[in-house]
Amino acid sequence: MRVPDSQITPKVLFVTSNRIGDCVISSGVIREIERQLPGAAITVACGRPPAPLFRSAPGVERVIILDKKRAAGHWLDLWKQVVGTRWDLVIDIRGSALGYLIPARRRVIYNRSWETGLPKVEMVSRLIGAPAALDPELFLDDQARREAAAVIDPQLAAGPGPGPIIALAPIAHQPGKSWPADRWGSLVEKLRAEPRFDGWRFMLVGGPGDHAPAAPALKAAAERAIDCVGRGDILASAAAIDRATLFVGNDSGLMHVAAAARRPTLGLFGPTEWWLYGPWGSTTRTVASNETRGAFAPIEALSVDQVFAAVLALHADFIASPAPAVP
């Protein structure tokens, strides 16, 4: 006996990035899938670092980790895992051939013709046919919150006590994106001396290999430091950032995490397109070594005074004069 189509759960394959930032930028796709195919069972294929971002996402029943292999062997491995399913929808924002090699009723496959100068959030939203831009979203769970609390709370208790937290991410894993580590130390020194940041705690966030670039800022923060570098996966880091009042970071995945958490966010940019890859949302700002669209300068051209002024402006906009709450 044939099961009526109305009783069959739609199956969706969402192939997203190996990079944390790109996965956050495209995270609004999860909600849009539910709008287009209510009740869909979603399989996400992504790199290992961003995989925890999807473990508690609504509708996601499986996360397949793509560990890169020689001769594109990771794509063959993925094909073997998904070819036996007839997919109602395949979304591939990486633009691979996979979607054409598996059975699917509908395919949405990225190609370069979609690059029209729009911010990446808007480009992905148009790709999938959303009626409006899909705001990035974090799918935090209790496990991530517990892991973050286990790192943060003892440090709060051991220091001068609770207070507003400014999260700092002095790390970016692509050449040219990292503001020099010593300048992060100088920035923290200036913020410690600024009356508007009296009582604030300075929380450093990053991955397991990021201790060296975080060291100058941690040293400058002294007893007001909270060290969350390499202390959990990306969802635990996201839960830590969710406890912050402000965020300042290089153009990185953590910058996009902070923006998705709706935290007032300042992104530092050098020779990359701030107008395409800047943090998304009304509570975000950027400061760039060259503010002219289409022109670039090394991130080293960005001075401590410039970044300090941008942090004070962020504080003025969203702390001293809070923006209306987003419904």
All structural domains of the chain with their residue ranges: 5-128, 146-320
Residue 272 carries which DSSP code? S
The pLDDT-based confidence of 153 (bands split at 50, 70, 90) is: very high
| Residue percentage of the chain with pLDDT more than 90 | 84
CA distance 196 to 304: 17
Question: Each residue of 55-76: b (16+ CB within 10 Å) or e?
Answer: eebebbeebebbeeeeeeebbe
Q: According to the model, what pLDDT value does residue 65 have? A: 97
Task: For residue range 87-101, list pLDDT tens digits in order.
Answer: 999 999 999 999 999
Distance of alpha carbon 160 from its chain centroid, rounded?
30
| CA-to-CA dists, residue 70 to 48, 64, 100, angstroms | 16, 18, 22
Task: For residue range 216-242, list pLDDT tens digits in order.
Answer: 999 999 999 999 999 999 999 999 999
5-128 and 146-320: identical CATH topology: yes
The pLDDT-based confidence of 324 (bands split at 50, 70, 90) is: low
Residue whose pair of structure tokens reads 């209510």 in the numeric block: 38
CA distance 218 to 185: 7
Is pTM beyond 0.75? Reply is: yes
Closest C-alpha among 200, 212, 181 to residue 300 = 181
Query: Does 284 have pLDDT greater than 70?
Result: yes
CA distance 78 to 28: 23
Q: According to the model, what pLDDT value does residue 84 have? A: 96
| CA-to-CA dists, residue 232 to 144, 204, 254, 264, angstroms | 9, 13, 13, 23
Residue type, 264: P
| Multiple choice CATH, 5-128, 3.40.50.1820, 1.20.1260.10, 3.20.20.70, 3.40.50.2000 | 3.40.50.2000
Query: Does 163 have pLDDT greater than 60?
Result: yes
Mean pLDDT, rounded, for 257-283: 95
Query: Does 1 have pLDDT greater than 50?
Result: no
The pLDDT-based confidence of 34 (bands split at 50, 70, 90) is: very high
| Burial class of residue 105, CB neighbours in 10 A (0-12, 13-18, 19+) | exposed
CA distance 259 to 277: 12
Q: Which of 89-93, 196-200, 208-212 has the lowest mean pLDDT?
A: 208-212
Beta bridge partners of 89: 12
Q: According to the model, what pLDDT value does residue 22 have? A: 95
Residues 6+ apart with CB under 8 A from 49: 18, 19, 20, 207, 234, 253
Structural contact between residues 224 and 202, judged by C-beta atoms closer than 8 angstroms: yes
Query: Does 321 have pLDDT greater than 90?
Result: no
Angle between helices 253-260 and 234-242 (to 10 degrees): 50
Length of the chain: 327
Closest C-alpha among 271, 270, 266, 256 to residue 121 = 256
The pLDDT-based confidence of 323 (bands split at 50, 70, 90) is: low
Q: According to the model, what pLDDT value does residue 2 have? A: 42
246 or 290, greater pLDDT: 246
Distance of alpha carbon 193 from its chain centroid, rounded?
30
Phi-psi label, residue 284: left if phi above 0, alpha if psi -120 to 50, beta otherwise: beta
Residue 65 carries which DSSP code? E
Residue type, 149: A
Q: According to the model, what pLDDT value does residue 171 have? A: 87
The pLDDT-based confidence of 162 (bands split at 50, 70, 90) is: confident
Closest C-alpha among 251, 252, 321, 254 to residue 283 = 321
CA distance 247 to 258: 7
| Multiple choice CATH, 146-320, 3.40.50.300, 3.40.1160.10, 3.40.50.2000, 3.40.50.9100 | 3.40.50.2000
Q: What is the dihedral of CA 191, 195, 197, 200, to 10 degrees?
A: 110
Measured distance between the N- and C-terminal CA atoms of the chain, rounded to whole angstroms: 47
Query: Does 246 have pLDDT greater than 60?
Result: yes
